[in-house]
Amino acid sequence: MNKFLYQLILILIVASCKNHSDSLTKALSEAGDNRNEMEKVLEFYKKKPSDSLKYRAAVFLIENMPNRKSYKSLAGFENAFESMSKYPISDTRKEVFRKIFDSVSQKVTLKNAELIADMQFLTSNYLIKNIELSFESWNKLPKNKRGSFEEFCEYVLPYKSGSEPIEKNTREKLIKKYSWVYKKLENNISLKKIVDSVTAEFSHSSITNMENYYPQPLSISQVEDTRVGTCDDGVNYIVNVFRSLGIICAKEMIPHWGNHYSLGHSWIYVKYGSEEYSTDVQGGVDLKNQYIGESIPKVFRERYSRQDQYTFSPFSQDVTTQYAPTVNLNIPNVFKAQDSKPFLYVFDVDNTWKAVSSGRYNNQHYTFDAVGINVLYMIGIPNNNVITPVNYPFYLDKKKEIHSFRPFQSIVNSQLLRKYGISSPKSTRNIDWINNLNGCVFQGANNINFSDAVTLHTISNFKSTQINKVKIINKRKFKYVRFYSNDKESYLAKLSFYNSQGEYLKGTVIEKNNSVVKWTKGAFDDNPLSFSGGKEVSLGLKFNKSTEIHSIEFQVRNDNNHINIGNQYELFYWNKKWISLGRRTAKDTVLHYSIPQNSLLWLRNHTEGKEEHVFTIDKYKHQQWLGFDNF
């Protein structure tokens, strides 16, 4: 029996070594002319028995290096990055970045982004130095705080976080710059406070449409120079910071929100001993708390090794259950689609559907594991950029119940007020802006300091993003009129005063405590998305002579996703594809449509804007937004 066990163990060891050798050999074969550099790394550690752990780390890096590629930095932007590195950290930094990089991008001939396989250009000296510094930092930490060797390999050892350009001595520079973190750890400062200190010091600002200014990921030094970029740019930087210190750190991401028209999100995950913290690159917020009740289909944690079982995102681990209640889905093949690998989709305004996960097909059913709730899904099979649905779209609600949207033949009337949900747990700002206007006042005065102020109207029971008009009862004449926010942080997109003939009253704009720097006199222009406001803000007019105010029009800061008079809209419902219910030019702030009962709807604005999302109609003829808050 003992002899049999011995032989079995020997066979398993040999088989294991052979598989290990095969995977390493396969990886080395992809290095091409650079294979010698990879083999130098292995030989360097192989001949030192005391470096057996480092040898395993070297094997891990090289075995998993195939399919890893890095961008080459774009030529012509050197002066732009240098200029940004000298600009002080301030609220205007993003605007300065846009101006500088927009100017350069118009002068520089932009070539197609060039990706190079890491296996084919990384040197042995670079990899050996990376391994040495990784172990040095890891060994500085108390053993009970380091994490396992597997975690070290996945989340400390890697020489980069994404596909950013690789630069020499990055790890060494970051260790030197952030060595103060070790002192904080020794003093038992919490991980959250340390991470928040790093992100606060770094002060990164995310920018939309980054590809218009610099069409590829930034290197670590470029992020450091600009402090501006995509979420991924900032996340890559912070991940590299903590890894350089030997602390487990990774990028986590949602491929696509269940309640956003086109975007997903990425953030930082850090682990030190038993402490874990997930936060945005700006820090300060524990996302596992903030995302409670959110519309999250999937969350992935990026790692260095390939995870074949996670075929949708092969270099990631599915961690959805750490952020949201989940359900294992088993959906029948109602449309008798082909027996192929299914994908789980969420709504996307640009592509109509965006994949967030892959599943399995078995016995006329499609199975998906750990799927987030409070999300509208569709299951489909992609083929040449065409998605073949296998069933009707369905909403997985907060009670983990499925609501399928198969249109009925019966017709119901609907009242449409918006083309996009107004609020969600992660973004309540639209509702906050509305609520904060309640209690604010409009005042008239004849002294510029409003020492003799008379309240003309107090805002109450306010719930609208549309332009509101109030009639003023007081017939006195005033030289000064204003909106005053008291101690609330309040913003107006529009503010106008009218006489008894309905004529717009002109005057000199007066602003006090206006905290908005992006627009000059934002509440007094014709742009519905510009605004003015702040705490204890005064916004108003000075007239040439005392004037009677007959009425006031005002509009809260808003997303402009309500129905705008004069805009052209088109309503669609889904029945194996999106089917139009007709175009309408809005003559009021409400659109009326007759629709198939129980249908999934999508209201498009052909005049302006991109923010649109799907909804249904409840028994009261009102819109119900899927994945959003409904009020």
| CB-neighbour burial class of residue 203 (10 A; exposed 0-12, middle 13-18, buried 19+) | middle
SS (H, E, C) 347-365: EECCCEEEEEEECEEECCE
Average pLDDT over residues 349-370: 94
Q: In what order do the strands lie in the sheet with 441-445?
A: 454-458, 441-445, 477-484, 538-548, 508-512
| Distance, first Cα to last Cα, the chain | 72
Average pLDDT over residues 181-207: 97
Q: Using CA atoms, how far apart are residues 515 and 520, in angstroms rounded to an integer?
A: 11
Q: Using CA atoms, how far apart are residues 552 and 524, in angstroms rounded to an integer?
A: 13
**Crossing angle of helices 231-244 and 170-177, rounded to 10°:** 80
Helix (H) or strand (E) holding 442: strand 441-445
**Domain at 411-422+562-625: CATH code:** 2.60.40
Query: For the chain, what are the domain ranges?
Result: 33-290, 332-402, 411-422+562-625, 431-556
Q: Judge whether 593 and 602 are in contact, CB under 8 Å.
A: no
pLDDT in tens, 572-623: 999 999 999 999 999 999 999 999 999 999 999 999 999 999 999 999 999 9
Listed in sequence order, the residues at least 6 apart from 46 whose beta carbon sits closer than 8 Å to its beta carbon are: 55
The fraction of the chain above a pLDDT of 90, given in percent, is 85
Q: Judge whether 617 and 412 are in contact, CB under 8 Å.
A: yes
- Which residue's structure tokens are 């480092």? 54
- CB atoms closer than 10 angstroms to residue 593: 19
Q: Judge whether 353 and 346 are in contact, CB under 8 Å.
A: yes
Res 533 pLDDT > 70: yes
pLDDT in tens, 202-238: 999 999 889 889 999 999 999 999 999 999 999 999 9
| pLDDT on residue 8 | 42
Question: Confidence class of residue 11 from pLDDT cuts 50, 70 and 90?
Answer: very low
Q: Using CA atoms, how far apart are residues 411 and 349, in angstroms rounded to an integer?
A: 26
> Tokens for 399?
């009670």
Q: Using CA atoms, how far apart are residues 446 and 478, in angstroms rounded to an integer?
A: 5
Average pLDDT over residues 163-174: 96
Single-letter amino acid code for the residue at 290: Q
Single-letter amino acid code for the residue at 301: R
Most distant CA pair in the chain, distance: 109
Question: Confidence class of residue 22 from pLDDT cuts 50, 70 and 90?
Answer: confident
- Which residue's structure tokens are 């060595």? 179
- Residues, the chain: 631
pLDDT in tens, 304-337: 998 875 568 889 999 999 999 999 999 999 999 9
Report strand pairing: 591-596 vs 411-416: antiparallel
Q: Using CA atoms, how far apart are residues 366 and 389, in angstroms rounded to an integer?
A: 12
Average pLDDT, the chain: 93
Question: Confidence class of residue 90 from pLDDT cuts 50, 70 and 90?
Answer: confident
